[in-house]
Amino acid sequence: MKKVYLDNAATTPLADEVISEMISAMKNFGNPSSTHSYGQEAKILIENVRRKVADYLHVTPAEIIFTSCGTESNNMIIKSCVRNLGVQRIITSPIEHKCVAETITEMKTRKNIEVVYLRPDKKGDVNIAQLEELLKSSEAKTLVSLMHANNEIGNLIDIKKVAEICKENGALFHSDTVQSMAHLPLDFSEIPLDFASCSAHKFHGPKGSGFAFIRKSSGLKSLITGGPQERSLRAGTENVAGIVGLGKAMELSMDHLTEYATQIQGIKDYAIEMITNAVPGVKFNGRSAEGEGSLYTVLSVLLPFKDSMIGMKLDMKGIAVSQGSACSSGASKPSMVMLMLLNDDELNSTTPLRVSFSHLTTRDEIDYFTEVLKGIAEAHKIENVNS
Ligand code: PLP
């Protein structure tokens, strides 16, 4: 059976070059904390990646803390802001990834932190003027946590503007950059944010490897206690091969940043055209069908019929997409993002589908996907006529 992978916002295939570098790193079995040559060779592998990542982001190596994933990075940043930096209020949005949303809810219920949500409009944009007003209206020590690119609809925030507003008003700013890191240029010497997160498997690197960007002198502390690894910000023997894989994947993405962005945007535009022709009445959520303000890898489709089995139907034809974000796929209730964007009528009569691309996606694959989608849409039309 033909297999088509259109779920690159959930995870991406490992690049061959990443696999080769990881295999050779695995053969270097020394513990990076050991002072002998075995350990020091492993340590050098890690420090080389740290320097490379820091250079891409225009920060210092000491500001890059390797972790196991985006979820861990976000947890560490938010929890430590409350525990160690005296944050009393968190301003966020209801459409953050679960690993941010759940962590903030925990801070609210267990630590009594005030949480204020910026309600997104029907396009999925959060209200930056409201953020500014909120920051000016209270003296409470505040953390603002807003994702750079939304994993379900691809909407982007103006990360530089938000960072500047937070800075002017004395608030800390954390941005979940898991979907945009290594896909969009990010210069943290220009963007005055305090914290960001990264996950290697979103750009053809390995799962179980990520990092947190922690602005120097922020005072953040480790959640995991033990040894002094990662400048005492994350105890535990490092995942050397995972870090090496992250470094190689980031290098490949950064070396081809403009080329891949143009190529993937071309595939996305083609998919929009083909889906629009295949399914009369189809819509696209948020800004995902607009060039501006949307991450080029993500397209959020709103099918004009209800079909909770659509993910399975496509899977049976070898096509992998997501019905929500990866974490909520399989769940029958609408995601928080869809609850914010759609009214009750739309929620009851439509089906959202997230299609996400990489530089490996081809036009042939889009043709096959839209042909299958057209068949499903036509079957719904016949069902409606007969009912
Ligand atoms: N944040 C966003 C926006 C994501 O899309 C994801 C993964 O889907 C995560 C965080 C979690 O990253 P990880 O899978 O590395 O835990």
Q: For residue range 14-44, what is the model confidence (pLDDT) as tens digits?
A: 999 999 999 999 999 999 999 999 999 999 9
Give percent above pLDDT 70 in the chain. 97
pLDDT for 332 = 65
Q: What is the mean pLDDT of residues 214-224?
A: 92
Query: Which atom number of ligand 1 is nearest to the Cα of residue 11?
Result: 8
Give me ligand 1 centre to Cα 279, in Å.
30
Give me ligand 1 centre to Cα 268, in Å.
22
Most ligand 1 atoms within 8 A of CB, residue of 68, 97, 213 to mutate: 97
Torsion on CA atoms 56, 58, 63, 67, rounded to nearest 10: -20
pLDDT for 386 = 72
Query: Cβ(148)–Cβ(311) under 8 Å?
Result: no
The pairing of strands 4-5 and 64-67 is: unpaired
Q: What does the mean pLDDT of the chain come to?
A: 96
Q: What is the mean pLDDT of residues 88-92?
A: 98
Q: Whose CA is nearest to atom 10 of ligand 1?
A: 70
pLDDT for 324 = 60
Q: How far is CA 84 from CA 65, 79, 99, 332, 333, in A?
A: 17, 8, 20, 38, 36
The answer on pLDDT for 203 being more than 50 is yes
Q: Whose CA is nearest to atom 13 of ligand 1?
A: 70
Q: Is 69 marked active-site?
A: no
Query: Cβ(133)–Cβ(165) under 8 Å?
Result: no
Give me ligand 1 centre to Cα 206, in Å.
13
Q: Which CATH architecture has domain 4-12+256-386?
A: Alpha-Beta Complex (3.90)
CATH number belonging to domain 16-255: 3.40.640.10
Most ligand 1 atoms within 8 A of CB, residue of 152, 202, 204 to mutate: 202
Give me ligand 1 centre to Cα 382, in Å.
39
Residue among 139, 135, 161, 138 nearest 148 (CA) = 161
Give percent above pLDDT 90 in the chain. 94
Domain spans of the chain? 4-12+256-386, 16-255
Bridge partners (DSSP) of residue 80 are none
Give me ligand 1 centre to Cα 128, in Å.
24
The answer on pLDDT for 326 being more than 60 is no
Instruction: Quote the pTM value.
Output: 0.96
pLDDT for 267 = 98
Q: What is the mean pLDDT of residues 124-132?
A: 97
Residue in the structure block whose two tokens are 């010497």 = 189
- Which residues lie with the beta carbon below 6 Å from any ligand 1 atom? 69-71, 97, 99, 147, 151, 176, 178-179, 199, 210, 325-326
Q: Whose CA is nearest to atom 8 of ligand 1?
A: 10
Residues 6+ apart with CB under 8 A from 276: 282
Q: What is the mean pLDDT of residues 173-191?
A: 98
The answer on pLDDT for 167 being more than 70 is yes
Name all contacts of 333-340 with Cβ < 8 Å and 24+ positions apart.
Answer: 335/152, 336/94, 336/95, 336/101, 337/95, 337/124, 337/150, 337/152, 337/153, 337/285, 337/286, 338/152, 338/285, 340/94, 340/95, 340/119, 340/120, 340/124
Q: Whose CA is nearest to atom 9 of ligand 1?
A: 70
pLDDT for 382 = 85
Query: Cβ(120)–Cβ(93) under 8 Å?
Result: yes
Most ligand 1 atoms within 8 A of CB, residue of 71, 156, 295 to mutate: 71
Q: How far is CA 148 from CA 53, 55, 369, in A?
A: 18, 20, 29
Task: Burial-class residue 207 by CB neighbours within 10 Å (0-12, 13-18, 19+).
Answer: middle
